[in-house]
Amino acid sequence: MCAKSERKKIRKELVATYYRSNPPDGYDKTAKLVNKSYAETEDIHQTMRETRLPFDVVWECLGFKDEMDWMDTQD
């Protein structure tokens, strides 16, 4: 019985991780949520906590990834 409950726990964690990295609401809705939170907190880590999204998703939604990619091409 222990192995079955352990597998169920692992599946739940995998699903939760997937949804954090691939929000089911779509990019536009997620980006609006992230931008609203960041406008209030001005702190990327607080925005991550409030939205329960991983760093790379928040970073992308705020446009910082695009800016960094652009800066890399300017060398």
Q: What is the pLDDT of residue 36?
A: 96
Q: Of all residues in the chain, what percent carry a pLDDT higher than 90?
A: 28
Average pLDDT score over the chain: 82
Per-residue pLDDT at 11 exceeds 60: yes
pLDDT in tens, 15-44: 777 777 777 778 888 889 999 999 999 999
Q: How far apart are CA 59 and CA 38, in angstroms?
A: 11
What angle (nearest 5°) sits at the alpha carbon of residue 14, between those of residues 10 and 19? Answer: 150
Q: What is the pLDDT of residue 71?
A: 63
Q: How far apart are CA 17 and CA 4, in angstroms?
A: 20
What is the average per-residue pLDDT within 39-53?
94
In whole angstroms, how far apart are CA 33 and each of 20, 27, 63, 65? 13, 10, 14, 17
- Name the one residue in this structure whose structure tokens are 């169920």: 8
